Amino acid sequence: MTRYRVAIHIEPRRGILDPQGKAVAGALHSLGFGDVVDVRVGRYLVLDTDAPDAETARAAAARMCEQLLANPVTEDFHIATVEPA
């Protein structure tokens, strides 16, 4: 078994209201960053897990997202990296 560090991005789906993102976009505009078109506020998770290989660690992380970490109705997830810890 090897320990893997898995980085996961979870963000609201396009078309789903994101009040935090709207608030951040408004604040950026008021600070003079008028070029900002849209902001989506999500979560970034890093977890360490033991697995025989990187693909098994990635598959386990995807199942974790599907079952608990991400709301399948309102959020999308992306596994950014899987690296030996």
pLDDT, position 43: 98
Using an 8 Å Cβ cutoff, are 21 and 41 in contact?
yes
Answer for the pair 42, 20: CB distance below 8 angstroms, yes or no: no
What is the structure's pLDDT at 72?
95
Question: Which H or E run includes 35?
Answer: none
For residue 74, give the 3-state DSSP assignment. coil
The residue whose two tokens read 């008021």 is 30
Output the pLDDT for position 64: 98
Q: Which domain holds residue 47?
A: 2-84
Domain count, the chain: 1
* Cα(76)–Cα(56) distance, integer angstroms: 20
Residues 70, 7: Cα–Cα separation, whole Å: 14
The CATH number given to whatever domain includes residue 24 is 3.30.1280.10
Per-residue pLDDT of the chain (85 residues; tens, 9 = 90+): 999 999 999 999 999 999 999 999 999 999 999 999 999 999 999 999 999 999 999 999 999 999 999 999 999 999 999 999 9
